């Protein structure tokens, strides 16, 4: 069973890596790249509470609820890619002897924290402030891979002179050597379980192959993300926590695990310890992933169904059974403290009140908050965005970045466009296609560009304005107009008028002075991207005039676009 479980873990982890890897313009192929996030009922529940509607793909969450009702929290032990990563990190980081591991795998009051976090996050969602993306494991890992792991592995690979297949070969050699080394050292040390190291090697090989996929499926140059540094720090800390307590994330922090625990406590199948056979050796706890106390009163909500206990029991006294006799040998869930639950809910309410009065103006729009094309109005956007970063991963021009403080406290790690890094490509709607929650609507190029049914009404992200004190023709009489050259709309939104410029020595020159025609400008940012005034561009797009907002406007006549789906 344990080996089968490991195969599942490797398979789903590899599948997850693959799907994140192919969330890329060079690997478009109709893969179901949103699937893991759609399968995540916390995404469905959170967005449903916040937005009072369920994006169709999120119906997949029902499948996971059904599985959990039948088998308990097996998602955590068998499927969750972040859980598998923590499992692997624990095996890798935690070299404690068996007795210490038994102690480390005991239930602790700390592990109830995830339930309080879940309550707080759901209260926040009900208050229309969706923040599950901080801790939801699928969103967390998607974001970490898109923003941190892929760029860093590519950078490291390129710096080491590895390209394409050489990278794969190197990764596989490292994985193989690691596995063989572990195996050999285990044998030299006199027995033990070499199988475990084979499993580690298999997992490492899957990881290496996945990284190779990420590497070859990505841009020619490593990507750089606006303050991706903090996402990296959080990711590394989350993995390092396994050194302190095995799977601390899954046991104490994961709100998704808490949700599955609350469902799984009613599960029909469960671990059953035969008290007749139990000799009380506690070997079943050595590799216990969930800290569910299989040697005593089983805590059903904490059990990942990892089967380690079943595998370890020398007496064969542990089985996984359908509706085992209720002999008082198990408890459905830990005792949650009512005062703490109320406290968590209160914190959620306070969060909502706090961000409403001091967390950024979600109604009026902020200059720097330029959302991807097809994004819903800001309030609705924040009710749906789970900060997974899939749009950042797929954006071919790397225009989309995780916000730090730009979009207010609520908007941490939500996608914003930074045109210095890249412009929004006119014939591209990939960000909406990969968005699992419809925060960015999946639109057609025709809608984006104002063709066909949408004739004359393109999706506007904002409006470009000249900074005449910095623009070369305006400020210095030097010919330029790169902005006009790259403006992708037809007719161009940037035009020039000839004007006489008097130089310092009194000589005169005629230069073309560029202007923006706001009727034509869609705020794509091509001009800002290419402006030669490097540090602070002389033409910049701000969000005013964005199609999605009824408030963030400047003209009398332009009404907002009604979302069509």
Partner 1 sequence: MTPRPGATDPGQTEARRDFLKRVAAAGAILAGSGGAALWLRGRRPAPAGALARLPSFAVDLPPGVPRMAIARGTDARAMLRAALDALGGMGRFVQRGDVVLLKPNVAFDRPPALGATTSPEVVGAAVALCREAGAARVLVTDNPISNPEGSFLKSRVRRAAEASGGEVLLPRARDFREIAIDGTVLARWEFLLEPFRTATKVIGLPTAKDHNLSGASLALKNWYGFLGRGRNRFHQAIDAVIADLGALVAPTLVVLDGTRLLMRNGPTGGSPADVKPGHTLAVGVDQVALDAFGFELLGKDPAAAPYLALAEARGLGTRDWRSLGPPDIRTG
CB of 535 to partner 1, least distance (A): 14
- Binding flag, residue 144, partner 1 (CB under 8 A): no
CA distance 208 to 216: 12
Instruction: Please identify which residue in 352, 428, 435, 516 interacts with partner 1, judged by CB under 8 A.
Output: 428
* DSSP per position, 161-208: T--HHHHHHHHHHHHHHHHHHHHHHHHHTT-S-HHHHHHHHHHHHHHH
Nearest to 447 by CA among 528, 369, 522: 522
Residue 220 interacts with partner 1 (CB under 8 A): yes or no:
yes
DSSP of 78-111: II-HHHHHHHHHHHHH----HHHHHHHTS--GGG
Q: Binder to partner 1 among 105, 398, 542, 552 (CB under 8 A)?
A: 398
With residue 216 as reference, give the H or E element that holds it. helix 194-216
Nearest 10 degrees: Cα torsion 527, 530, 532, 535? 90
Q: What kind and span of H or E run contains 511?
A: strand 508-516
**Does the footprint of partner 1 cover residue 293 (CB under 8 A)?**
no
Pick the piece of the chain touching partner 1 (CB under 8 A) from 59-67, 187-195, 344-352, 395-403: 395-403
Exposure letters 107-123 (e unless 16+ CB within 10 A, then b): beeebbbbbbbbbbbbb
- Binding residues for partner 1 restricted to 310-339, rule: CB under 8 A: none
Site for partner 1 in 69-98 (CB under 8 A): none
The minimum distance between CB 493 and partner 1, in angstroms, equals 10
User: Does position 354 bind partner 1 by CB under 8 A?
Assistant: no
Cβ closer to partner 1: 95 or 456? Answer: 456
Number of Cβ within 10 Å of residue 547's Cβ equals 26
In angstroms, the Cα distances linking 267 to 79, 128, 254 are 17, 31, 20
Binding of partner 1 by 507 (CB under 8 A): no
User: Per CB under 8 A, does 400 bind partner 1?
Assistant: no
Site for partner 1 in 236-255 (CB under 8 A): none
* 450 sits near partner 1 (criterion: CB under 8 A): no
188 binds partner 1 (CB under 8 A): no
Site residues for partner 1, window 526-555 (CB under 8 A)? 530-532
Closest contact distance (angstroms) between CB of 169 and partner 1 is: 20
User: Minimal distance in Å, beta carbon 546 to partner 1?
Assistant: 20
Give least dist CB 218 to partner 1, A. Answer: 9
- Of the candidates 461, 481, 463, which has an alpha carbon nearest to the alpha carbon of residue 471? 481
Nearer to partner 1, 64 or 526 (CB): 526
| Cβ–Cβ under 8 Å, residues 386 and 130 | yes
* Candidate residues 272, 492, 548, 561; the one interacting with partner 1 per rule CB under 8 A: 492
Distance CA 143, CA 231 (A): 8
Closest CA to 306 of 284, 273, 328, 333: 284
C-alpha to C-alpha distance for 517 and 546, rounded to whole angstroms:
15
Q: Find the part of the chain contacting partner 1 (CB under 8 A) among 86-94, 213-221, 253-261, 375-383.
A: 213-221
**Closer CB to partner 1, 192 or 532, in the complex:** 532
Of 214-222, 223-231, 292-300, 302-310, the window that binds partner 1 (rule: CB under 8 A) is: 214-222
Q: Which is nearer to partner 1, 507 or 564 (CB)?
A: 507
When binding is defined by CB under 8 A, the residue of 44, 107, 422, 462 that contacts partner 1 is 422
Question: Which one of residues 295, 378, 380, 425 is an interface residue with partner 1 (CB under 8 A)?
Answer: 425
Among the listed residues 165, 221, 361, 453, the single contact to partner 1 using CB under 8 A: 221
Residue 216 lies near partner 1 (rule: CB under 8 A): no
253-291 exposure pattern, b = at least 16 Cβ within 10 A, e = fewer? bbbbbbbbbbbbbebebbbbbbeeebeeebbbbbbbbbb
By the rule CB under 8 A, 457 interacts with partner 1: no
Task: Rule CB under 8 A: say whether 482 interacts with partner 1.
Answer: yes
Q: Please give the residues from 151 up to 170 whose contact with partner 1 meets the rule CB under 8 A.
A: 158
Cis peptide before 491 (omega within 30 of 0): yes
Residues of this chain that bind partner 1 (CB under 8 A) = 25-26, 158, 219-221, 396-398, 422-423, 425-428, 472, 478-482, 484-492, 530-532
């Amino acid at each position: 069973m344990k080996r089968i479980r490991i195969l599942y873990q490797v398979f789903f982890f590899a599948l997850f890596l693959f799907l994140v890897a192919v969330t890329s313009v060079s690997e478009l192929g109709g893969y179901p790249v949103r699937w893991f996030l759609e399968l995540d009922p916390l995404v469905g529940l959170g967005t449903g509470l916040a937005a009072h509607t369920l994006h169709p793909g999120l119906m997949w969450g029902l499948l996971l609820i059904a599985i959990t009702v039948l088998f308990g929290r097996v998602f955590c032990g068998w499927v969750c890619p972040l859980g598998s990563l923590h499992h692997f990190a624990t095996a890798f980081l935690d070299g404690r002897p068996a007795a210490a591991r038994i102690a480390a795998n005991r239930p602790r009051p700390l592990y109830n924290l995830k339930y309080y976090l879940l309550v707080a996050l759901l209260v926040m969602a009900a208050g229309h402030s969706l923040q599950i993306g901080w801790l939801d494991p699928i969103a967390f890992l998607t974001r970490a891979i898109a923003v941190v792991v892929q760029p860093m592995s590519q950078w490291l690979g390129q710096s080491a002179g590895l390209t394409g297949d050489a990278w794969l070969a190197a990764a596989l050699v490292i994985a193989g050597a690691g596995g063989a080394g572990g195996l050999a050292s285990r044998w030299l040390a006199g027995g033990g379980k070499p199988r475990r190291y084979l499993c580690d090697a298999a997992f490492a090989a899957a990881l290496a192959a996945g990284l190779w996929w990420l590497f070859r499926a990505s841009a020619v140059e490593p990507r750089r993300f606006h303050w991706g540094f903090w996402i990296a720090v959080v990711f590394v800390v989350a993995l390092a926590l396994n050194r302190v307590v095995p799977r601390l994330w899954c046991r104490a922090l994961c709100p998704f695990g808490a949700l599955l625990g609350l469902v799984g406590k009613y599960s029909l199948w469960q671990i059953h310890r035969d008290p007749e056979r139990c000799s009380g050796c506690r070997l079943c706890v050595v590799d216990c992933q969930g800290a569910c106390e299989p040697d005593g009163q089983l805590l059903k909500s904490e059990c990942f169904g990892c089967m380690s206990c079943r595998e370890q029991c020398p007496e064969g006294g542990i089985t996984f059974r359908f509706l085992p006799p209720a002999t008082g040998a198990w408890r459905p869930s830990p005792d949650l403290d009512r005062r703490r639950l109320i406290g968590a809910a209160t914190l959620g309410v306070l969060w909502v009140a706090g961000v409403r009065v001091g967390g950024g103006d979600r109604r009026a729009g902020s200059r720097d908050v330029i959302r991807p094309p097809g994004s819903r109005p800001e309030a609705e956007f924040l009710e749906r965005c789970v900060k997974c970063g899939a749009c950042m991963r797929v954006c071919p021009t790397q225009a989309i970045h995780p916000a730090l403080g730009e979009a207010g406290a609520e908007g941490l790690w939500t996608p914003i466009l930074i045109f210095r890094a890249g412009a929004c490509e006119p014939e591209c709607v990939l960000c909406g296609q990969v968005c699992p929650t419809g925060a960015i609507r999946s639109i057609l190029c025709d809608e984006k560009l104002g063709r066909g049914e949408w004739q004359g009404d393109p999706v506007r992200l904002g409006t470009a304005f000249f900074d005449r004190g910095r623009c070369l023709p305006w400020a210095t009489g030097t010919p330029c107009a790169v902005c006009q050259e790259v403006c992708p709309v037809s007719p161009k939104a940037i035009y020039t008028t000839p004007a006489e410029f008097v130089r310092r020595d009194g000589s005169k020159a005629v230069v073309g002075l560029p202007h923006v025609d706001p009727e034509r400008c869609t705020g794509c940012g091509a001009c800002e991207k290419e402006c030669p005034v490097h540090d602070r561009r002389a033409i910049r797009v701000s969000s005013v005039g964005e199609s999605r907002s009824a408030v963030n406007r400047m003209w009398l006549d332009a009404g907002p676009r009604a979302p069509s789906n």
